């Protein structure tokens, strides 16, 4: 073999080049985006339901948690006053604390999402242009009032009490709904949540498809991440956005072909293990005393919130 080795491989690469001489490299936005999306998916997949600490919610039957989620989200949507929403928020924070979830990280996520999907969306409604009422914070005064089509813009524009209450109410609803959802998601492995949906009589086939799809998203994200690293290890300069776009398009074709092949293999594996067009997913065992006690407690708390 030795005589087949090309001469350039037998020569040593030069290391004389100084690396303090030239400027900084910018990473293309497409590359950054691809990296962060795949990291986010894999991170999410690994964090969700994989809490190593054993707290209150982690020990509950997943079916109870799914019922809790639906029951309390409905209550949050039905309430029309700020006080019960605040009480629900306090109750949920107690549940988070009892479940020994990292409080700062958990509420950091919720506050961020509430800001974008609650506050920013609803904030314009706090002005008297949209919500008329008792003005408490004047912002600006126009020379005159304007009317066009169905809109009336008053001379004095500002925040109204009714408008602010509406914004606070919406933010609280978003925050509470997110807290309830994330509390369940963070304390229950995904496949158990899916299986728990059986309490709503969702067909097994449908549940299996969701489970496999979710797993495939993770495998897909890992593949994308590794391909990104493989490419990065052979790149020595910045990649232009159009080159990155071409590469991504090429990779999509590759992943599509690979996926098709993988589907065939997975189906063969299922057939080999006795699959004959009827899916059966294992069920949970009977609920224990702790689940029954917690279920009653949640029911009672829910009735109190509804009554408030």
Partner 1 sequence: MEPIIRIDNVSYSYYEKIPALSCVNIGLSEGEKFAVIGSNGSGKSTLLKVMNGLLYPPSGKVYFRGEEVTEESLKNRAFLRLFRSSVGYVFQDSDVHLFCPSVFDELMFGPLQLGLSSDEAHERTKGVLEMLEITHLQDRASYMLSGGEKKRVAIGSILTMNPGVLLLDEPMSGLDPKTRSFLIELMIFLNEAGKTLVIATHDLSLINELQCRVAVLSEDHRVEKIGTADEILQDEDLLLKVNLIHEHMHYHGNQAHIHIHSHYLIHRHDKNHEHGEGG
Question: Which residues of this chain interact with partner 1, rule CB under 8 A?
Answer: 1-2, 4-13, 15, 17-27, 42-43, 46-47, 50, 223, 226-227, 229-237, 247, 250-251, 254, 257-258
Write the DSSP string, 274-295.
T--S----PPP----HHHHHHH
Closest approach, Cβ 257 to partner 1, in A, equals: 6
For residues 187 and 58, is the Cβ–Cβ distance under 8 A? yes
Q: How far apart are CA 283 and CA 192, in angstroms?
A: 10
Q: Which residues contact 267 (CB under 8 A, 6 or more apart)?
A: none
C-alpha R_g of the chain = 28
- On the 0-12 / 13-18 / 19+ scale of CB atoms within 10 A, 22 is exposed
Closest approach, Cβ 184 to partner 1, in A, equals: 20
Closest approach, Cβ 14 to partner 1, in A, equals: 9
Closest approach, Cβ 291 to partner 1, in A, equals: 28
Closest approach, Cβ 47 to partner 1, in A, equals: 7
Closest to partner 1 by CB, 1 or 150: 1
Closest approach, Cβ 42 to partner 1, in A, equals: 7
By C-alpha distance, which of 31, 71, 119 is closest to 304? Answer: 71
Tokens of 235: 């790149």
For residues 213 and 194, is the Cβ–Cβ distance under 8 A? no
Closest to partner 1 by CB, 15 or 80: 15
Closest approach, Cβ 66 to partner 1, in A, equals: 25
Residues forming a β-bridge with 141: 156
Closest to partner 1 by CB, 17 or 283: 17
Which of helix, strand or coil describes residue 224?
A: helix
Closest approach, Cβ 100 to partner 1, in A, equals: 16
Which of helix, strand or coil describes residue 153?
A: strand
Rounded alpha-carbon distances, angstroms, from residue 161 to 85, 94, 131, 165, 213: 18, 30, 9, 6, 47
Closest to partner 1 by CB, 7 or 140: 7
Tokens of 227: 């391909």
Closest to partner 1 by CB, 54 or 232: 232
Closest to partner 1 by CB, 262 or 292: 262
Closest approach, Cβ 225 to partner 1, in A, equals: 9
For residues 73 and 177, is the Cβ–Cβ distance under 8 A? yes
Which of helix, strand or coil describes residue 138?
A: strand
Tokens of 270: 């299922």
Closest to partner 1 by CB, 23 or 274: 23
Q: At what angle do helices 161-187 and 103-114 cross, to 10 degrees?
A: 140
Closest to partner 1 by CB, 42 or 128: 42
Closest to partner 1 by CB, 40 or 142: 40
């Amino acid at each position: 073999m030795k005589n087949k080795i090309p001469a350039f491989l037998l020569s040593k690469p030069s290391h004389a080049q100084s690396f303090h001489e030239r400027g900084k490299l910018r990473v293309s936005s497409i590359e950054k985006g691809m990296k962060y999306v795949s990291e986010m998916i894999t991170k999410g997949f690994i964090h969700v339901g994989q809490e190593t600490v054993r707290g209150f919610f982690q020990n509950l039957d997943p079916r109870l948690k799914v019922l809790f989620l639906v029951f309390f989200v409905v209550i949050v949507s039905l309430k029309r006053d700020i006080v019960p929403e605040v009480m629900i928020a306090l109750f949920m924070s107690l549940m988070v604390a009892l479940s020994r979830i990292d409080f700062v990280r958990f509420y950091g996520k919720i506050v961020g999402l509430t800001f974008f999907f609650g506050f920013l969306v609803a904030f314009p409604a706090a002005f008297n242009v949209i919500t008329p009422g008792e003005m408490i914070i004047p912002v600006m005064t126009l020379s005159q009032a304007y009317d066009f089509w169905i809109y009336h813009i008053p001379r004095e524009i500002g925040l109204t009490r009714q408008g602010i209450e509406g914004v606070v109410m919406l933010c609280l609803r978003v925050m509470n709904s997110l807290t309830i959802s994330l509390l369940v998601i963070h304390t229950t492995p995904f496949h158990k949540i899916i299986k728990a949906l059986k309490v709503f009589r969702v067909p097994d086939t449908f549940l299996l498809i969701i489970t496999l799809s979710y797993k495939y998203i993770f495998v897909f994200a890992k593949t994308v991440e590794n391909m990104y690293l493989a490419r990065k290890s052979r790149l020595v300069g910045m990649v232009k956005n159009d080159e990155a776009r071409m590469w991504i398009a090429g990779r999509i074709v590759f992943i599509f072909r690979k996926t098709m092949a993988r589907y065939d293999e997975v189906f063969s594996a299922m057939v080999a293990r006795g699959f004959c067009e009827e899916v059966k997913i294992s069920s949970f065992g009977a609920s224990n005393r702790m689940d029954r006690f917690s279920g009653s407690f949640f029911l009672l708390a829910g009735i109190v919130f509804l009554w408030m």
